[in-house]
A = this chain, B = another copy of it.
Amino acid sequence: MHAATLARPIEINSAPMVAPPGRGEEGHRPLTVYIAGNEIYGPGDEANGHYHIAFGAVRIYRLLADGRRQISAFHMAGESFGLEPGDRHQFFAEAVCATGLRKVRTLPALESMQGLLQLALEGMMRAQQHLLVVGRQNATERIGAFLLDMVERQGGLPQIELPMSRQDIGDYLGLTIETVSRTLSKLREKGVIKFHGLRSVEVCKPSLLEAICQ
């Protein structure tokens, strides 16, 4: 269930050929393509830099001994992830869907340091914001906050494509898959959202969604 690595990631050095439809900067670094479920790194793996997402999406998570999973973050195209203290990773990182990554090795220079600090602080901020959602909001509020976050991260357009499964959403929000499904159905019945496919959602009443999330 928790996605064993199904196939090896493919490394592509001739970047221009396979450049994703996104921005073409940083094209000189090799692009590695992962398919859905591929592990990018796991606890204990050497950590010597971070990753930039050319396209696709990544989940960062931890497991409890009995298999309970908490996804602490999703990262989308254009974002960076993978910076951790120490020289060993403490989390799992997996491709949520077909994903292209460029690895960025850490340079001990001042200006790159400032960028890394910014990255780390934003990561801390996101985690602490998410803590408020998971710790103090009910199922409807959590789903609402999640949808609004996705809208914002996909450019503000009301139509969003969710790369992740209901299980992923549940493990991110601290809910079960059934509760995620039920809550989405309730929002659909109320006309707040509309489905154009299981993972294609249109937020019809964003103001109502914002009101739900307080």
Of the four ranges (under 10, 10 to 19, 20 to 34, 35 or more), the interface on chain A belongs to 35 or more
Is the CB–CB distance between A136 and B70 below 8 Å? Answer: yes
> What residues of B have a CB within 8 angstroms of the CB of A174 in the complex?
134-136
A73, A130, A136 — most chain B CB neighbours (10 Å):
A136
Question: How many copies of this chain are found per oligomer?
Answer: 2
* A34-42, A114-122, A156-164, A198-206: which lies at the interface: A114-122
Task: Specify which chain B residues have a CB less than 8 angstroms from the CB of A120 in the assembled complex.
Answer: 117, 120-121, 123-124
Q: Could you say which of B66, B91, B117, B118 contacts A128, with CB atoms under 8 Å apart? A: B91
- Residue of B at shortest CB range from A66? B214
A62 touching B116 in the complex, CB below 8 Å, given contacts A136-B68, A174-B135: no
Find chain B residues with CB under 8 A from A4 CB: none
| B64, B108, B136: the one within 8 Å of A136 (CB) | B64
Give Cα distance in the complex from A174 to B133, angstroms.
10
Q: Which A positions have Cβ atoms within 8 angstroms of B?
A: 60, 62, 64-66, 68-70, 72-73, 83-85, 90-91, 108-110, 113-114, 116-118, 120-125, 127-132, 134-137, 173-174, 214
